[in-house]
Amino acid sequence: MTTPLRVGIVGVGTISAQYLASLPRLPGLRLTAVADLDGDRAAVVAAEQGVTALSVPGLLASSDVDVVLNLTVPAAHVPVGTAALEAGKHLYAEKPLGLSAAEAAPMLALAQERGLRVGSAPDTVLGTGIQTARRLLDDGTVGEPHAAAVSWSSSGHEAWHPAPFFYYQPGGGPLLDMGPYYLTALVTLLGPVERVVGTSRRSTRERVVGAGPRAGEPVPVATDTSTEAILEHRGGATSTVTMSFDRWATRRPLFEVYGTAGTLAVPDPNHFSGAVEVWTTTTREWRTAEVAAGYADAGRGYGLADLARAVATDRPHRTSGALAQHVLEIMDAVSRSSAEGAVVPLTTTVERPEPVPLGSTPDSW
Ligand SMILES: NC(=O)c1ccc[n+]([C@@H]2O[C@H](COP(=O)([O-])OP(=O)(O)OC[C@H]3O[C@@H](n4cnc5c(N)ncnc54)[C@H](O)[C@@H]3O)[C@@H](O)[C@H]2O)c1
The pLDDT tens digits for 195-240 are: 999 999 999 999 999 999 999 999 999 999 999 999 999 999 999 9
Contacts for 12-17: CB closer than 8 Å, 24+ residues apart? 12/36, 12/41, 12/42, 12/45, 12/71, 13/41, 13/71, 13/72, 13/73, 13/163, 14/161, 14/162, 14/163, 15/71, 15/94, 15/300, 16/45, 16/71
Instruction: Report DSSP letters for 295-317, one per residue.
Output: BTT--TTHHHHHHHHHHHHT---
348 alpha carbon to ligand 1 midpoint, in Å? 27
**Could you tell me which of 272, 197, 203 has the C-alpha nearest to residue 244?**
203
Q: How many other C-beta atoms are found inside a 10 Å radius of the C-beta of residue 196?
A: 25
HSE value, Cβ hemisphere, 13 Å, CA-based, for 109: 6
Is the distance from the beta carbon of residue 344 to the nearest atom of ligand 1 less than 6 Å? Answer: no
> Which of 72, 80, 270 to probe ligand 1 with, by most ligand atoms within 8 A of CB?
72
User: What pLDDT, in 10s, does the model give residues 36-88?
Assistant: 999 999 999 999 999 999 999 999 999 999 999 999 999 999 999 999 999 99
Q: Give the whole-angstrom CA distance, residue 70 versus residue 92.
A: 6
Is the distance from the beta carbon of residue 15 to the nearest atom of ligand 1 less than 6 Å? Answer: yes
Is the distance from the beta carbon of residue 212 to the nearest atom of ligand 1 less than 6 Å? Answer: no
Nearest atom (ligand 1) to Cα of 74: 41
340 alpha carbon to ligand 1 midpoint, in Å? 32
> Which of 9, 14, 69 to probe ligand 1 with, by most ligand atoms within 8 A of CB?
14
Q: Give the whole-angstrom CA distance, residue 345 versus residue 128.
A: 32
Exposure string of 157-175, with b = 16+ CB inside 10 Å and e = fewer, is: bbeebebbbbbbbebbbbb
CB 245 within 8 A of CB 152: no
Strand positions, DSSP E, 177-320:
193-201, 207-208, 218-219, 226-233, 238-244, 255-259, 262-265, 277-280, 286-288
pTM above 0.85, yes or no: yes
Q: Is 95 helix (H, G, I), strand (E, B) or coil?
A: coil
21 alpha carbon to ligand 1 midpoint, in Å? 16
152 alpha carbon to ligand 1 midpoint, in Å? 21
Q: pLDDT tens per residue, the chain (365 residues)?
A: 578 999 999 999 999 999 999 999 998 999 999 999 999 999 999 999 999 999 999 999 999 999 999 999 999 999 999 999 999 999 999 999 999 999 999 999 999 999 999 999 999 999 999 999 999 999 999 999 999 999 999 999 999 999 999 999 999 999 999 999 999 999 999 999 999 999 999 999 999 999 999 999 999 999 999 999 999 999 999 999 999 999 999 999 999 999 999 999 999 999 999 999 999 999 999 999 999 999 999 999 999 999 999 999 999 999 999 999 999 999 999 999 999 999 999 999 999 999 999 988 887 65
Nearest atom (ligand 1) to Cα of 15: 16
> Which of 15, 19, 59 to probe ligand 1 with, by most ligand atoms within 8 A of CB?
15
